[in-house]
């Protein structure tokens, strides 16, 4: 995708994410010919979508369609394109919060939006394997409650249901594990793109503020202590964004894991350094910084917080004795 096309796409996506339309994001994207855009360059288009969502703090659900599409493409089941994917209650894809009780599935988790149609649930099997239950609307009665925690604007929903195993279709074996792993990898680099965009937005705002705020007769942005804080935050974000670009292009689960860890750490660092640059006003509800900080914390927890992922990365490196290369990095 050339620069001019990307500029037009980003302009259109900005309008879609900020126009206040109550329709699902997938419906609004259809008007842009989103399927054709994805066919042309899915990695670049999805990065742009999540970067703009991060910069605007849009409440539109972009993650749900990504998960559904990843599962649909991996399994060859087009009916999963609009499916609601039930994430584990702890929001880490490997720590499933679903169990089998006899011939019944007891499901509990979180979705990115309310379940109105088909739902996909990852169900554990022996030896760490899993299978996917495809639950049709009439097969289960879901209890659903909007999560009112750190950032309720994201629209995350806590869901639970009990349904018979015989009442749903199953995707089993290697296909299920591969589909779940692909969905997790795409979600991780997409969320990482959103996190880096939040960080860049926050740093840009802090730079502007420190150029205007005057103490001791000069802008506080001329003080080296603040310059070092914001420069360090910017450098961390640039590095994380490079790994995100590589992860989205390569499709590597390892690169996506590293990208998510780096982006989560960099975005949190950017918010805390910006808060120090703002001083007391940065700790008030009247200032917008808290919105970015709260969104950052929730996005970081989705598919593994940076602290959790760093421990996983370290454990893998110790276990294998190898350091996988990520592109040219």
Question: In this predicted model, what pLDDT tens digit does every residue of 79-100 receive, in sequence order?
Answer: 999 899 999 999 999 999 999 9
CATH architecture of the domain covering 176-320 = Up-down Bundle (1.20)
Give every CB contact of residue 327 below 8 A, 6+ residues apart in sequence: 246, 249, 250, 255
Torsion of CA 304, 306, 311, 312, to 10 degrees: 40
- Nearest C-alpha neighbor of 276 from the set 229, 209, 231: 229
Taking 80 as the threshold, does the pLDDT of residue 329 lie above it? no
pLDDT number for residue 233: 97
Q: What number of H helices and E strands is found in the chain?
A: 9, 10
Q: What is the DSSP letter of 109?
A: E
Q: How far is the C-alpha of 292 from the C-alpha of 199, rounded, in Å? A: 8
The least confident of 111-115, 155-159, 270-274, 276-280 is 276-280
Q: How far is the C-alpha of 135 from the C-alpha of 131, rounded, in Å? A: 13
User: Residue ranges per domain, the chain?
Assistant: 3-67, 78-172, 176-320
pLDDT number for residue 129: 86
Q: Predicted confidence band at 154 (pLDDT cuts at 50, 70, 90)?
A: very high
Q: Predicted confidence band at 238 (pLDDT cuts at 50, 70, 90)?
A: very high
Do 105 and 89 meet the contact criterion of CB atoms below 8 Å apart? no
pLDDT number for residue 19: 87
- Nearest C-alpha neighbor of 246 from the set 238, 235, 255: 255
Q: Predicted confidence band at 106 (pLDDT cuts at 50, 70, 90)?
A: very high
Q: Predicted confidence band at 58 (pLDDT cuts at 50, 70, 90)?
A: very high
Count CB atoms within 10 A of the CB of residue 218: 9
pLDDT number for residue 120: 96
Q: How far is the C-alpha of 281 from the C-alpha of 297, rounded, in Å? A: 20
pLDDT number for residue 214: 87
pLDDT number for residue 51: 97
Q: How far is CA 46 from CA 34, 57, 183, 269, 278, in A?
A: 10, 16, 14, 24, 32
The least confident of 84-88, 106-110, 172-176, 228-232 is 172-176
- Nearest C-alpha neighbor of 66 from the set 197, 198, 185, 159: 185
| Three-state secondary-structure class, residue 121 | strand
Question: In this predicted model, what pLDDT tens digit does every residue of 30-42 receive, in sequence order?
Answer: 888 999 999 999 9
Give the β-pairing of 84-86 and 119-124: parallel
pLDDT number for residue 22: 82
Taking 90 as the threshold, does the pLDDT of residue 204 lie above it? yes
pLDDT number for residue 20: 81
Taking 90 as the threshold, does the pLDDT of residue 167 lie above it? no
Secondary-structure breakdown of the chain: helix, strand, coil percentages, each rounded to the nearest 5: 60, 15, 25
Do 26 and 33 meet the contact criterion of CB atoms below 8 Å apart? no
Give the residue-averaged pLDDT of 144-165.
Answer: 94
Q: What is the CATH number of domain 78-172?
A: 2.40.110
Q: Tell me which residue has tokens 């594990």.
A: 177
pLDDT number for residue 173: 84
Q: How far is CA 240 from CA 179, 195, 201, 262, 282, in A?
A: 25, 9, 15, 5, 25
Q: How far is the C-alpha of 56 from the C-alpha of 289, rounded, in Å? A: 13
pLDDT number for residue 320: 93
Q: Tell me which residue has tokens 């659900």.
A: 61
pLDDT number for residue 275: 94
Taking 80 as the threshold, does the pLDDT of residue 328 lie above it? no
Q: What is the DSSP letter of 302?
A: T
Q: Tell me which residue has tokens 């495809």.
A: 134
Taking 90 as the threshold, does the pLDDT of residue 174 lie above it? no
Both tokens assigned to 4: 């001019």
pLDDT number for residue 315: 96
Q: What is the mean pLDDT of the chain?
A: 93
pTM: 0.95
Question: In this predicted model, what pLDDT tens digit does every residue of 211-220 receive, in sequence order?
Answer: 999 888 899 8
């Amino acid at each position: 995708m050339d620069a001019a096309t990307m500029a037009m796409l980003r302009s259109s996506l900005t309008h879609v994410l900020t126009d206040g339309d109550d329709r699902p994001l997938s419906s609004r994207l259809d008007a842009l010919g989103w399927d054709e855009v994805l066919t042309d360059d899915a990695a670049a288009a999805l990065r742009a979508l999540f970067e703009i969502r991060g910069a605007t703090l849009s409440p539109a659900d972009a993650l749900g369609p990504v998960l559904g599409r990843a599962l649909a493409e991996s399994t060859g089941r087009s009916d999963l394109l609009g499916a609601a994917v039930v994430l584990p209650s702890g929001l880490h894809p490997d720590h499933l919060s679903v169990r089998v009780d006899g011939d019944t599935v007891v499901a509990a988790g979180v979705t990115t939006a309310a379940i109105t149609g088909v739902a996909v649930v990852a169900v554990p099997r022996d030896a760490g394997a899993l299978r996917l239950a495809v639950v049709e609307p009439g097969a289960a009665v879901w209890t659903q409650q909007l999560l009112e925690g750190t950032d309720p604007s994201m629209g995350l929903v806590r869901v639970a249901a009990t349904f018979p195993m015989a009442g749903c279709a199953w995707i089993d074996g290697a296909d299920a594990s591969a589909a779940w792993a692909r969905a997790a990898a795409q979600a991780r680099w997409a969320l990482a793109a959103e996190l880096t965009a939040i960080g860049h937005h926050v740093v840009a705002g802090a730079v502007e503020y420190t150029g205007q705020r005057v103490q001791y007769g000069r802008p506080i942005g001329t003080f080296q202590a603040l310059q070092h804080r914001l420069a360090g935050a910017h450098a961390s974000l640039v590095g994380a964004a490079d790994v995100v670009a590589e992860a989205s292009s390569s499709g590597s689960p390892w690169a996506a894991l590293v990208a998510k860890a780096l982006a989560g750490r960099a975005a949190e660092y950017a918010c805390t350094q910006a808060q120090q640059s703002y001083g007391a006003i940065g700790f008030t509800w009247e200032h917008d910084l808290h919105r970015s900080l709260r969104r950052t914390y929730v996005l970081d927890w989705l598919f593994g917080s940076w602290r959790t992922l760093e421990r996983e990365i370290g454990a893998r490196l110790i276990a294998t004795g190898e350091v996988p290369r990520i592109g040219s990095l």
